[in-house]
A = this chain, B = another copy of it.
Amino acid sequence: MTNTQVTLLQIDNYGPWTVTPEPRREADLQTLQSRLYADVSQFVGTRDGYVFFTRFDNIIAVTNGLSLEDHALLQESVDNRYPVTLSLGVATGRTPAQALSDATALLQEAGSAQDKNRRECLEGRTIDDAHRTDGDVQIAHFDVIDATGEYTDELNAFDTFIEIEQGYASLMRYMRRAHDSLAFFVGGDNVIVVCPDLEADAYEEAIHHVEDEADVELQVGVGRGDVAHEAGMAAKHALEGCRANGTRVELDW
């Protein structure tokens, strides 16, 4: 059974900071946001977690394997190197959406995202090592079948982008409502979804739903592990199986 540990990282008072004393150059904000995200991805990723840029001022991570001390160190490192600070909420749950909901509530109780007195909160709890299992995390890696041939080499780059966005938006809503899962676009034509215990039929239905609703054809590889990196790498290999076998759904187990 999955037991996903989810961390919500929120930049403190970011909206006001971006316009004080005056609006800041947009290209600089984009650079700051992207590099902050990249640093969080390295810190968490080299500890075998996964990080999704989400809205950049609110970043969601799967942090099974990271302790609260790890979270505090990340927070301190960001404070030493950036003009902004992060508040972190950590929670675990039967489903990824439940865990994220609890993580969000921890921060909301500490104060508004734009409360200038709320700085560098660290709230929540991680899973004791003794209670961790190989089935804690389930990751599904979807991509668009032959995106390069169907879209990238055929349509203009924005129309390709619209098609992929529509496919993502459809999958994201469906997986959230049907399965309490969290779906994230990760570049190219790839969407990574953090799931509870789902079997092949759930993924087949999701693929049919997106095909019907958005006319985008997906395939998916699914993996499990005690940490996001294990589950996600197994999912990537399973996805290579879809390419090799011409199948739409491949589970790593």
Contact = CB atoms under 8 A, between A and B. Distances in A.
A31 interface: yes
A186 B26 CA distance: 9
A26 B232 contact: yes
Interface string A86-112: 000000000001001101110010001
Contacts of A23: 233, 236-237, 240
Contact of A46 (B41, B57, B73, B168): B73
Contacts of A232: 26
Contacts of A44: 27
B58 A42 contact: no
A247 interface: no
Interface of A: 8, 10, 14-15, 19, 23-35, 37-39, 41-46, 49-51, 53-58, 60, 73-74, 76-77, 80-83, 97, 100-101, 103-105, 108, 112-114, 148, 152-162, 164-166, 168-169, 172-173, 176, 182, 186-189, 192, 229, 232-233, 236-237, 240
5 contacts: A27-B44, A28-B42, A32-B81, A34-B41, A80-B83
Given A28-B81, A34-B41, A55-B160, 10 more contacts: A19-B240, A25-B229, A27-B49, A31-B41, A32-B80, A34-B53, A35-B81, A58-B157, A114-B148, A169-B169
